[in-house]
A and B are shown apart, each in its own frame.
Chain A
Amino acid sequence: MLDLKKYNSVGEALRDALDTWPTEVCLIESDRGEEKQRLTYRNFKDNALPLAKALQDLGIGPGDRVAIIMTNQSKWLISAYAIFFRGATLVPLDFKLKSEEQWQLLKHSDAKVLITEYGIWRQLSASPGRSAATCLKTVIATEAPKDADVSGAERWENVKGANAPVFIAQGREDIACIVYSSGTGGTPKCCMMTHENYLEQCMALTSLYPFWPGVRYLSILPTNHAIDFMVGFFGPFTCGAAVVHLRTLRPEYVREAFPKYEITYVSLVPLVLKNLQKGLQARFDALPDAKRKALDAIRNINRALTKDRPRLWLSRKLLGEVHAAFGGKLEAIIVGGAFTEPQTLQFFYDLGIPVANGYGLTEAGTAVTVNDLKPFRADTVGKPLPGMEVQIRNADSDGIGEVAVRSKTVMAGYLNEPQLTDETIVDGWLRTGDMGRFDSTGHLQLFGRKKNMIVTEEGKNVYAEDVEQAFEGLHVKEFCVFAANFIWPQRSMVNEKLLLVIHLEHGQAFTPELKSEISTRNSRLINYKRVHGMVIYQEDFPLTASLKIKRSELAQRLAALDREQSILPI
């Protein structure tokens, strides 16, 4: 791999990568089982430079922000490289958000150019939010059909500058990306990530899970997500490896991709991993009795023989059929974005498929701890990565306290939020709001959160405050949304739920109409943002002088209620 210590920016490292492995394949793109594109590093460069020149002709350079809203595909990475080549800042946005939310973030990020897919642009351009984002001067739309109306966008294929673009160098402290970790409600949480953050994170991760030419990484998590950006773009590219993109993530095509492309690594969110487990378990259960017993015995043997460390060659021999379904070359499944249950990790490890689980957050440059598999532990989130200092603050008698992190991978701060930044990074230490402790072997174990938020199994961070908008104007005296575990802390990272707490007007009855209104409003929310229960509180909410709800105080009062009895279904 490239020696990243030598580089000052993501763009500089990528530029060298493209020249180091010109004939190696870097991208494979498949759509519904059919391979549509295969690019070498040289092809990638030939595609990206005309776009970089076009950005240059548009006046894009250092300090300018260029947003990408695309599904996982080659043009995502090509665009990102062109943006870095010009020394500009990349704003990767989630293609799954609603159009209004995307406009809100485009406005918040002050993006001048947006590169997106025609299908997404069709929805975006029809959304009323468009008028708010006056910062946006140019939209580039990929894959627009020949005769389609592109609503003021430029067609990707026409955006090509003549002659060579000028590469603009950036320093390690300059902002490479601004990444929305969550929140499209009141205050979007937007992390400013420096070039150093990415260079250091990449060195740390590849020291444990290396890439090399010939590795094929299957990109499933959205590339705007910090994990896929690192292990599905920057990591493999700086090692001469290849990334496989599927234009649809229907389970049948994902299954087919493993053997077809002999995938080496894949990243998944816990929900998908759990589904994979369910699917495999169902197939095992359907086996004739004798075969199932034989499989169980082999799994036990494999477990015993890999107790101290993975022995992939042995597991592949013992459990050949299972490994064949995964292509036979799988080194590890990387799981991230949310907490993974130990039994799921153990299930795969027993099959000889190590799952690299860990703990991280966008603010810390993604991964803070990762399981090094020496030996495999299902009950922890691993040890701190090289270069990470991790402390437990204000530990209780069980050693559990808030996890704090200091590292070169910690973000520069939140965009336009100096106060929030000062509260989050104190004396150089990032306060994560997550509760944990170290065991005697230096592994970190997690025990819930201090924050009023949840992380879904799909890896979505949802802040309770952001969900309140959906209930604005509800006919009650006052209401508030909380994460259930924020009110009643639980020493657990599973079953996180949001709750709607309402206080009725004096003499007001909780009518079926009110219940139905709450339920209707809730169902309008995107599924992972929905509240899962309701608490009817009988007293006035504590308020500040400016009549804002004192959330922490209200949570403390609610904590006196019995959790199980107080939560009503919606």
Chain B
Amino acid sequence: MCMRTIEQTTQEILELATMQFKVPAGSLAADDDFYKKLGIDSLQALEMLSRLENHFRIELPDYEVQGVSDFKTLAQRIQARL
């Protein structure tokens, strides 16, 4: 199994968020605040977490995303569990 780099993980998260929240391709960046950029609330962020779990085949406790608001940090949290 090939290991993803943090850049690959970040890219995949951005692509998944782009699809889930139907924003134009390429409009999201790693440093973006996803609450602000996607206009979502904490419940919708949890929904995003579910998709990410399925995609990366990991289990992330809810609190891993509490206090995280940018894709880059989210990618680091996910990377730590891959």
Q: Shortest CB–CB separation between residue B22 and chain A, in angstroms?
A: 15
Secondary structure of the B side of the interface?
helix
Which residues on the A side are within 8 Å of B63 (C-beta)? 71, 95-96, 119-120
B12 interface residue per 8 A CB criterion? no
**Interchain CB contact (< 8 A) of B47 among A71, A250, A523:** A250
A250 engages B50 (CB within 8 Å)? yes
Known: A250-B49, A523-B33, A527-B35. A119 touches B43 (CB 8 A): no
**Is there an interface contact between A250 and B67, defined as CB atoms closer than 8 Å?**
no
Given contacts A523-B36, A523-B69, contact A271 B64 (CB under 8 A): no
Decide: B61 and A119 in contact? CB cutoff 8 A: yes
A526 on interface, CB distance cutoff 8 Å: yes
Determine how close the nearest CB of chain B comes to the CB of A528; give it in whole angstroms: 8
Contacts of A32 in B (CB 8 A): 59
Partner of B46, one of A96, A117, A120, A249: A249
Within 8 A of B (CB), among A341-387: none
- Chain B 24-43 interface residues, beta-carbon cutoff 8 Å to A: 33, 35-36, 41-43
Is there contact, CB below 8 Å, between B67 and A96? Answer: yes
B38 to chain A, nearest CB (A): 12
Q: Which residues of A contact B66 (CB under 8 A)?
A: 95-96
- Total of A-B residue pairs, C-beta within 8 Å: 48
The complex places the Cα of A95 from the Cα of B61 at a distance, in Å, of: 11
Q: How long is the Cα–Cα vector from A119 to B62 in the complex, in angstroms?
A: 11
A275 cross-chain contacts in B, Cβ below 8 A:
41, 43
Which listed residue, A97, A248, A272, A527, touches B61 by the CB 8 Å rule? A248
The CA-CA distance from A249 to B67 in the complex, in Å, is 16
A252 on the B face (CB < 8 A): yes
Using a CB-CB cutoff of 8 Å, which residues 468-523 of chain A contact chain B?
A: 523
Q: What residues of chain A lie closer than 8 Å to B50, measured between beta carbons?
A: 250, 252
Any B CB within 8 A of the CB of A98: yes
A545 to chain B, nearest CB (A): 39
Query: A367–B27 Cα gap in the complex (Å)?
Result: 45
Closest to A70 in B: B63
Contact status of A527 and B42, CB under 8 A, knowing A96-B67, A250-B47 = yes
What residue of chain A has the Cβ atom nearest to residue B61's Cβ?
A: A119
Q: Which residue of A lies closest to B66 (CB)?
A: A96
- Residues from chain A with Cβ under 8 Å of B47 in the complex: 250-252
A458 located at the interface, meaning its Cβ lies under 8 Å from any Cβ of chain B in the complex = yes
Docked pose: A251 CA to B36 CA in angstroms: 21
| Residue from B43, B61, B70 in contact with A251 in the complex, judged by beta carbons closer than 8 Å | B43
CB under 8 Å from chain A, chain B span 50-82: 50, 59, 61-64, 66-67, 69-70
- Cα A251 to Cα B44 in complex, Å, equals 8
* Distance, CA A182 to CA B36, complexed state (A): 24
B36, B62, B70: most-surrounded residue (chain A CB, <10 A) = B62
| Chain B nearest CB, measured from A470 CB (Å) | 13
**B43 touching A272 by the CB < 8 A rule?**
yes
Q: List residues 17-65 of chain A with CB under 8 A from any CB of chain B.
A: 32
Nearest CB in chain A to that of B81: its residue: A119
The CA-CA distance from A96 to B67 in the complex, in Å, is 7
Question: Which chain B residue lies CB-closest to A119?
Answer: B61
A568 to chain B, nearest CB (A): 17
A241 → B minimal CB distance (Å): 25
A526 to B66, CA, bound (A): 8
Give residues 115-136 of A contacting B (CB, 8 Å).
117, 119-120
B34 to chain A, nearest CB (A): 10
Tell whether, in the assembled complex, residue B43 and residue A271 are in contact, meaning their CB atoms are under 8 Å apart.
yes
Question: How far is B16's CA from A236's CA once the two chains are assembled, in angstroms?
Answer: 41
Most chain A Cβ neighbours within 10 Å, of B33, B41, B62, B63: B63
* With known contacts A526-B67, A527-B69, A71–B61 Cβ distance under 8 A: yes
Give the CA-CA distance A71 to B61 in the complex, in Å: 9
A interface residues with partner B (beta carbon < 8 Å) = 32, 71, 95-98, 117, 119-120, 247-252, 271-272, 275, 458, 523, 526-527
7 contacts between A and B (CB under 8 A): A96-B63, A97-B67, A247-B61, A250-B62, A252-B50, A523-B36, A526-B69
Instruction: List 7 A-B pairs, minimum CB-CB distance, nearest first.
Output: A96-B66, A250-B50, A250-B46, A527-B35, A523-B33, A119-B61, A526-B67
Beyond contacts A120-B63, A458-B42: 10 other A-B pairs, Cβ-Cβ < 8 A, are: A95-B66, A96-B63, A96-B66, A117-B61, A119-B61, A249-B46, A271-B41, A271-B43, A523-B33, A523-B69
